[in-house]
Chain A
Amino acid sequence: GENVEQHPSTLSVQEGDSAVIKCTYSDSASNYFPWYKQELGKRPQLIIDIRSNVGEKKDQRIAVTLNKTAKHFSLHITETQPEDSAVYFCAASSNDYKLSFGAGTTVTVRA
């Protein structure tokens, strides 16, 4: 099955700086890559996703890039704000439509 690895496990950034989270996946058949944000004690919520026919996607301060050859994808958050503090999960979906999640990155934005 699909194996998704996520780095780093924790990330502390100064408010206004950028944050980058990287994920790798093992199944070359994977073609859907969502990112979820989970605030403390809350449910995960989708923040952005990308499909294999696209190399980059942007939504305001967040962007995701995908390198299918290298089997890795990244989340970029620019101009970080305190409300960006949360746990972020990457995931990958293969042809069987099951999502495999990374272990998560705890992002802390320092004021």
Chain B
Amino acid sequence: NAGVTQTPKFRILKIGQSMTLQCTQDMNHNYMYWYRQDPGMGLKLIYYSVGAGITDKGEVPNGYNVSRSTTEDFPLRLELAAPSQTSVYFCASSYGGENEQYFGPGTRLTVT
């Protein structure tokens, strides 16, 4: 099993550009999450999904959108990138809401 995979690993965006961060898991987990981690800080939840077709906002959803058309994939869309979105983005998945979350390797995004 590959676990949770994310692409790209690194990306530099100009202000106002858009991009999609890809996340795929092969563990047949229902729950998937997107977090951002700013330097020296903890993980902030952006969006989460409890199953295909169901998504909900986390703590810091502004400037982001998600979709969950399949169990395996949970892409994160950034529209009109801003410097405040410079961060490391982690995708995670779990069997249930109170089970171990498995994290992807992260995407380091810089907006200049």
Q: Give the secondary structure class of B's interface.
A: loop
- The A-contacting residues of B in range 39-95, CB under 8 angstroms, are 40-45, 48, 50, 58-59, 90
Any A CB within 8 A of the CB of B96: yes
- The A-contacting residues of B in range 14-46, CB under 8 angstroms, are 31, 33, 40-45
* A102 and B100 within 8 A (CB): no
Pair count A-B, CB < 8 A: 49
Which of A42-50, A65-73, A77-85 forms contacts with chain B? A42-50
Interface flags, A1-27, vs B, CB<8A=1, else 0? 100001000000000000000000000
Q: How many residues on the B side are at the interface (Cβ–Cβ under 8 A)?
A: 22
Q: How many residues on the A side are at the interface (Cβ–Cβ under 8 A)?
A: 23
* A44 and B97 within 8 A (CB): no
* A101 and B43 within 8 A (CB): yes
Name A46's contact: one of B33, B90, B100 (CB within 8 Å): B100
CB distance from A96 to the nearest CB of B (A): 8
A97/B41 contact (C-beta < 8 A), A1-B59, A43-B104, A44-B103 known:
no
Chain B contacts of A100 at CB under 8 A? 45, 59
B residues with CB within 8 A of A: 31, 33, 40-45, 48, 50, 58-59, 90, 96-98, 100-101, 103-106
